[in-house]
A and B are shown apart, each in its own frame.
Chain A
Amino acid sequence: EAQVTQNPRYLITVTGKKLTVTCSQNMNHEYMSWYRQDPGLGLRQIYYSMNVEVTDKGDVPEGYKVSRKEKRNFPLILESPSPNQTSLYFCASTTTGGASSYEQYFGPGTRLTVT
């Protein structure tokens, strides 16, 4: 079954304690991205990756890091989480069948609370 998985689904942590949210897709997609969703702000892109070892900043990259060592995995790293990073996070992967023909597959989401 084609899917994007994220772990953990729920996480409560304290300010400054490094954490990693994993994302994995089994569709051999080149393009992967991370979003955060906050009430009234919709989905905002944090980072994206066009392929292995190719990553770039989205709209709200501050406080986050990513890596893309393998095609299927795209972990999101918070080196020193702060309360303003409390949010619902989504990983997505995308077919790239041309400049305007891609459909994103979303993971189930990770609800992060930073106290």
Chain B
Amino acid sequence: SQELEQSPQSLIVQEGKNLTINCTSSKTLYGLYWYKQKYGEGLIFLMMLQKGGEEKSHEKITAKLDEKKQQSSLHITASQPSHAGIYLCGADDYKLSFGAGTTVTVRA
């Protein structure tokens, strides 16, 4: 199955600052998903990327998939306390595989 590596494992950011999370795959990605999870709760779908070079935005969150389709980044602009949580990338490899997650803490 797909091996997905996320970095960093965790990060702390001051409210209002930007942050970036990376997801790297061992294989070409046919579909890349980003999810957000509040601690101990279910996952919430953020967005899906399929094409090389694709970029999608939702509110202050932007996700990109590189041309080679082996790396994706999630960028949050002007972070807020509501952005705190665990962000996971998932790869479409017939069945969905996930990275280990990045824990984001936003300090007021």
Task: Bin the interface of chain A by size.
Answer: 20 to 34
Chain B residue numbers with a CB within 8 Å of A109 are 40-42
Task: Indicate whether A99 sits within 8 Å of B30 (C-beta atoms), given known contacts A33-B95, A45-B97.
Answer: yes
In the complex, which residue of chain A has the Cβ closest to the Cβ of B93? A100
Establish whether residues A108 and B42, one from each chain, have CB atoms under 8 Å apart when the complex forms.
Answer: yes
Known: A33-B95, A43-B88, A45-B97. A100 touches B40 (CB 8 A): no
- What count of chain B residues pass the 8 Å CB interface test? 24
B interface SS class:
strand
* B11 contacts A by Cβ under 8 Å: no
Nearest opposing residue in chain B for A90, CB measure: B42
- B97 x A108 contact (CB < 8 A): no
Within A71-113, the residues touching B (CB, 8 Å) are 88, 90, 92, 94, 99-109, 111
Q: Contact between B1 and A59 (Cβ–Cβ < 8 Å)?
A: yes
Q: B100 interface residue, CB < 8 Å from A?
A: yes
Given A100-B92, A102-B92, A107 contacting B100 (CB threshold 8 A): no
9 intermolecular pairs with C-beta atoms under 8 Å apart? A33-B96, A40-B100, A90-B43, A99-B94, A101-B50, A104-B96, A106-B42, A106-B44, A111-B40
